[in-house]
Structure 1
Amino acid sequence: MDDYKTVLRSDETEVEIKKSRFINLVFHVEDEAAVDEILTEIRKKHYKSTHACWAYVLNTNPKRQKASDDGEPSGTAGKPILDVINHRELKDVLVVVVRYFGGIKLGTGGLIRAYGGGASDVLNHCCIIKKQFSDQVKIVIHYPSYGGLSNSLMEKEIFPVSEEFGENVTLNFQIAVAQTKAFLDWVEDQTNGTAQIIRGEQAYVDVEVTNDEKTM
C-alpha cells in the first residue's frame, strides 16, 4: 500500500472577487457516503448561495474522483478544483467552493481562476499530512544498551513513539515499510544482535509534511 497526502481536518476560507463571495471549504472524506452527507449539509447551510461547486479524490485503486460545476458553465468550476487537488497529489479530500453572486459576471477565465484559486486558498490554509504505511515495531533491549542506542537514534533523528521501562526497556516505533529492513539491520548492528525485535501489524500513521510538500 502506498503513502499518500490528505487533510487532517476540515477548514474554511473566504474571498471576495468583483462583489461575489467565494467560501472555500475542505474536508477529509473516505467514501462517497461521507461526500454526499457533507454536500447535503452545505446545501442546507448555504441555501441562498448561487452555486456550490465541488470535487473530490478518494484513496482507492484506481483512485475515484468526481467534480461538479453546479450550474456554472461547463469546465469552469469543478474541473479547476479537481485539478488543484490532483496537482497537490491529495487523496481522501473533498473541496467545495460556494459562490454568492455579486452581480458582476467573471467570464470563463475569471471563473476558472476564482474556483481554482479558492481551492488553492483553502488548501494553503489547512493542515496537510502524509498517511505513511508503516510497520509497528517494538525493540526490547537491556538497560546497559539503552543509553548508546538512544544517542545513536537521536543522531539519526529517529524517535520512538513511546518508551516502556520494566525488566527491560521497550522502544516502540512506527517505521515506513520501505525503510523497515534497513532500520532493523541497523538496530541489530548497534546492539550487537542483543535486541529483541517484535513486529506488529502494518497500518497508516499520520506524518507532518513540509511546506514544500504541501504545494507539490
Structure 2
Amino acid sequence: MEIEDDSRATTYTTLAAGPDVRHELEIRRSRFITVLRRSPDEETARSLVSDLRREFHDARHHCSAFVIGPDRMVQRSSDDGEPSGTAGIPMLEALIKRETAPQVTDLSDVSVVVVRYFGGILLGAGGLVRAYSESVSSALESAPLVIRRRLRLCALEVPHAEAGRLENELRGAGYVMAETGYEAKHTILRLALADNPAEFAEAKGRLASLTAGTIDLRPEGTEWIDLPR
C-alpha cells in the first residue's frame, strides 16, 4: 500500500496547550485587555468571546478574531461596535501575518479577544487600527508557541527475537518510534513519519536494507502532535 500524494499542510504553528494568554495595554486612557486561546474549532473560539463578555460585562467592546485549521481556511473577525474595519480585521491580520520563523506565517488554531474600556479620548479610525493590531501583536510576543505536525503512523511485523535489534537500528537512523504492540508470533513496531510520499518511500527503502526485504512497512492512520519550536 502506497501513500497518496497530499497537498494539504502537514505543519503549522499554534499556541502551546495551557491557560489563556493575557496582556493589557493602556492607550490614551483606554484599556485594551487581550486574551489568546488555543482553538481547534469554531465552538472553542466563540466560547472565548462568551467567557469574556461574562467576565468583563461592563466593557464597551469585545472585539474578536480567529484563524483555524492547518490550511487556515477558517478566518473570522468582529468589530463589536467599533467603526467598521478598525478592530476585527486588524486583529485578524495580526494573527495571520505573524511570523513564527523568518518569512514563515503559519499561525493557526488561535482565537483572540480584545476587551476595550473606553477612556474618554477618541482615537480616530487610524488610532483604533493601530491600537487593536498592537494589542494582539504584543500578546503574541509573550505567548508560548509549538509546531503542530501531522505524522503518518506505519507498522511492521517483526519476529520477537529480532524486534529489539531492529528497533535500535531504526532509532539510530533517526526514526521516531511510536507505540509498540505484541502478538503471539510478532512484535508490532510503529514508526511516526512525516506525512508525505517521499518520507514513506525512504523509510521503506531503509527497512528493506535492514531486513533484506523480508519485512514490509504498512501505513496506518495519521496523527497531529505538538513539537517544541
TM-score for the superposition, normalised by structure 1: 0.78
Q: 1:61, 1:126 → 2: CA distance?
A: 21
Question: Are the structure 2 counterparts of residues 207 and 182 from structure 1 closer, same or farther at C-alpha, using a change threshold of 3 Å?
Answer: farther
String of CA shifts for 1:91-145, please: whole Å, max 9, x gaps: 3321111122333444434322322222223333334334433321123334446
Q: Which residue of 1 aligns with 2:13?
A: 5
Q: 1:76, 1:8 → 2: CA distance?
A: 29
Q: 2:125 aligns with which of 108, 112, 123?
A: 108
Q: Which residue of 2 aligns with 1:44?
A: 54
Contact 1:135-1:175 within 8 A present in 2 as well? yes
Q: 2:65, 2:34 → 1: CA distance?
A: 12
Letter in 2 for 1:6: T
Q: 2:33 aligns with which of 17, 23, 27?
A: 23
Contact 1:149-1:191 within 8 A present in 2 as well? no
Give the match's secondary structure for 2:54.
helix
Q: Which residue of 2 aligns with 1:181?
A: 201
Structural mapping, 1:54-133, within 5 Å: 54-59=64-69, 63-87=73-97, 88-133=105-150
String of CA shifts for 1:16-73, please: whole Å, max 9, x gaps: 2233322211223344443333322221111111211111123288823221122223
Q: Which residue of 1 aligns with 2:190?
A: 172
Q: Which residue of 1 aligns with 2:4?
A: none
Q: 1:188, 1:32 → 2: CA distance?
A: 44
Letter in 2 for 1:134: L
Give the match's secondary structure for 1:84.
helix
Question: Are the structure 2 counterparts of residues 191 and 117 from structure 1 closer, same or farther at C-alpha, using a change threshold of 3 Å?
Answer: farther
Q: 1:41, 1:16 → 2: CA distance?
A: 20
Which runs of 5 or more residues in structure 2 are unaligned? 1-7, 98-104
Q: 1:32, 1:114 → 2: CA distance?
A: 25
Question: Are the structure 2 counterparts of residues 128 and 69 from structure 1 closer, same or farther at C-alpha, using a change threshold of 3 Å?
Answer: same
Question: Are the structure 2 counterparts of residues 209 and 124 from structure 1 closer, same or farther at C-alpha, using a change threshold of 3 Å?
Answer: farther
Give the match's secondary structure for 2:14.
strand
TM-score for the superposition, normalised by structure 2: 0.74
Paired-residue identity, %: 27
Q: 2:115, 2:72 → 1: CA distance?
A: 29
Question: Are the structure 2 counterparts of residues 207 and 61 from structure 1 closer, same or farther at C-alpha, using a change threshold of 3 Å?
Answer: closer
Question: Are the structure 2 counterparts of residues 138 and 13 from structure 1 closer, same or farther at C-alpha, using a change threshold of 3 Å?
Answer: same
Letter in 2 for 1:171: L
Q: 1:124, 1:195 → 2: CA distance?
A: 48
Q: 1:33, 1:154 → 2: CA distance?
A: 43
Which runs of 5 or more residues in structure 1 are unaligned? 211-216
Question: Are the structure 2 counterparts of residues 176 and 43 from structure 1 closer, same or farther at C-alpha, using a change threshold of 3 Å?
Answer: same
Q: Does 1:162 align with 2:179?
A: yes
Question: Are the structure 2 counterparts of residues 40 and 144 from structure 1 closer, same or farther at C-alpha, using a change threshold of 3 Å?
Answer: closer
